[in-house]
Structure 1
Amino acid sequence: MVLFGLIMMGLILIGYIYNIFSRRKTLHAAIPDSYKSLLQDNVRYYQQLDEGDKVRFEDKVTKFLKRTTIEGVHTSVEPLDRVLVAASAIIPIFGFKDWEYFNLTNVILYPDTFDESYQFEGNRRNILGMVGSGPLNGQMALSKNALREGFANTSDKSNTAIHEFVHLLDKADGFVDGLPRNLIEHSYSIPWMKLVHQTIQQMLAGHTDINPYGATNEGEFFAVISEYFFERPDLLAEKHPDLYKMLCKIFQQDPAANHQHPETAF
């Protein structure tokens, strides 16, 4: 009986050690060895940081990859994809010291567009990114092509993955309503929503250069204008200075201060 107990304890110990090494192997695989060079070659936001902020960005990227599962459905997840997903997550929260996405566990990459049922075949595939709700709470789905295009095209105002991570930030208070209560000071809430509604009216009248999808509702407006803020902060500051200033307060960063035009970025 004693011998049996010792054998069982041994098996439990072996299983425990195996799980530790298995987890370490999984975590190591989740963080590409070349992640720094992939950031430098593919993420303009990172390129324009000073050396101290680059180190801080890298640290946030590795922490994100350690705690978030990234999987592919009928597509491979390459090191570049992991780094771009992590960069998309970190860019909106870089102004906050200790922010973590407590409402995210998995990011699922699809080859291209998919539908509301997460099907990637058929004629109703028109979705590039989606934050899950209900039974799929904590899940995010992204088009791999859209993820890469968001960083490859440095002259537009769009980035699908950043859009979805901004939705997660907005959702942190329980509602995707364009008013991230955990980020915006109470005194700015009314001026922000007033500015949002004024801009949506201008968009509906076709008088702005903002993606018209942002006029769908306040939540989509916040995600769309945030894409613009991080992709072309110089242009947003020039064309929509009030929006730019308010977003600087919300995200606690001023990306236009370091921004280089696409033709001069390295």
Structure 2
Amino acid sequence: MIIVAVALLLLLALIIRPLFKKKKPNAIPKEEIIKGILEKEVRFYQNLSSERKAGFYERVANFLSNVKVIGVDTTVDDTDKTLVAAAAIIPIFEFEGWAYTHINEVLLYPKPFDQNFNFEGENHIVGMVGNGAMQSTVILSKPFLRDGFMNDNNDSNTAIHEFVHLIDKADGATDGVPEVLLQHKYSLPWIKLMKDEMEKIRKGESDIDTYAASSETEFFAVVSEYFFKQPRLLKEQHPELYARLKTMFGHKTKV
């Protein structure tokens, strides 16, 4: 009986051990490579103090250690990985300790894709957060990932847009009202501001991308892109909206 008991314990240990085995971190680019890319391509990083740049790098490195960036019929280099991580960290940078807990991988496609994730034929999706079996995945079109950082002449950044959706989703509902960023007393004023701004967009009285008027969910993501990509212009054109987003994201950089 003792021998059988010992054998059962050993068998149980072999079964349980893998469940508690610590996940091996992903291999990431060298520190100097990541910092060089951030300094060259990411304006948000460029505007930080030296001390805050160090903190931003640490968050980027931690993200890449835990989330794989995978190319689908395309290659993925250090620039792609760094830009994905930068897009993830920018919206949450002022919230120390906050991390994306339900994302395992980011897939990069060589061009836009359709609802079935095919990129042959007529496609128009450039980024999305997966659902169902792919709920731990973010999918991005690689050209649009790069354009979001390397083109300073617009207010669009697809990767930031999708990570803002994840922040919105953190309270269990993707509805344009991110409870993780909003104190309860500010929820109703934010909803009213959204509806007012969406109506202006529909009437052609706003410079905000018309896609923002499709739903509160997309409004929040689109104006967040605008906020991080062209904060000075947003402040000039939409001072109340800028002030609300600055409070939400705890933004400290002067514009």
**Given the two structures, how large is their TM-score scaled by the length of structure 1?**
0.85
Residue 107 (structure 2) pairs with residue 81 (structure 1): no
Q: State the distance in 2 between where 1:230 and 1:106 align.
A: 23
Residue 45 (structure 2) pairs with residue 39 (structure 1): no
1:241 match: 239
Render the CA deviation track for 1:188-227: whole Å, top value 9, x for unaligned.
1000000000000000000000000000000000000000
Render the CA deviation track for 1:61-92: whole Å, top value 9, x for unaligned.
00000000110000001000000000000000
2:160 corresponds to which of 149, 159, 162:
162
Aligned residues: 237
Q: Secondary structure at the match of 1:109?
A: strand
Q: State the distance in 1 between where 2:231 and 2:208 align.
A: 13
Q: Secondary structure at the match of 1:225?
A: helix
Equivalence map 1:5-16=2 (5 Å): none
2:173 corresponds to which of 172, 175, 180:
175
2:207 match: 209
Partner AA of 2:145 in structure 1: L
Equivalence map 1:223-242=2 (5 Å): 223-242=221-240
Q: Secondary structure at the match of 1:193?
A: helix
Is residue 31–residue 66 contact of structure 1 (8 Å, CA) maintained in 2? Answer: no
Is residue 35–residue 83 contact of structure 1 (8 Å, CA) maintained in 2? Answer: yes
Render the CA deviation track for 1:159-194: whole Å, top value 9, x for unaligned.
000000000000111111000011101111000000
2:135 match: 137
Partner AA of 1:198 in structure 2: D
1:115 match: 114
1:220 corresponds to which of 218, 221, 225:
218
Is residue 112–residue 143 contact of structure 1 (8 Å, CA) maintained in 2? Answer: yes
Q: Secondary structure at the match of 2:82?
A: helix
Partner AA of 2:226 in structure 1: Y
Q: C-alpha displacement at 1:242, in angstroms? A: 0.4
Partner AA of 2:85 in structure 1: A
Partner AA of 1:146 in structure 2: F
Is residue 171–residue 180 contact of structure 1 (8 Å, CA) maintained in 2? Answer: yes
Q: Secondary structure at the match of 1:71?
A: strand
Give percent identity, aligned residues only. 45
2:100 match: 101
2:53 match: 54
Q: State the distance in 2 between where 1:214 and 1:103 align.
A: 25
1:90 match: 89
Deviant stretches of 4+, over 4 Å = none
2:8 match: none
Q: Secondary structure at the match of 1:107?
A: strand
Residue 76 (structure 2) pairs with residue 69 (structure 1): no
**Given the two structures, how large is their TM-score scaled by the length of structure 2?**
0.89
Q: State the distance in 2 between where 1:108 and 1:153 align.
A: 22
Q: State the distance in 1 between where 2:110 and 2:173 align.
A: 29
Runs of 5+ unmatched residues, structure 2:
1-13
Is residue 103–residue 172 contact of structure 1 (8 Å, CA) maintained in 2? Answer: no
Q: State the distance in 2 between where 1:174 and 1:203 align.
A: 27
2:145 match: 147
Q: Is the alpha carbon distance of 1:180 and 1:99 closer, same or farther for their aligned partners in structure 2, counting shifts above 3 Å?
A: same
Q: State the distance in 1 between where 2:232 and 2:35 align.
A: 26
Q: Secondary structure at the match of 1:206?
A: coil
Q: C-alpha displacement at 1:254, in angstroms? A: 3.9
Partner AA of 1:163 in structure 2: H
Cα RMSD after superposing both structures: 1.8
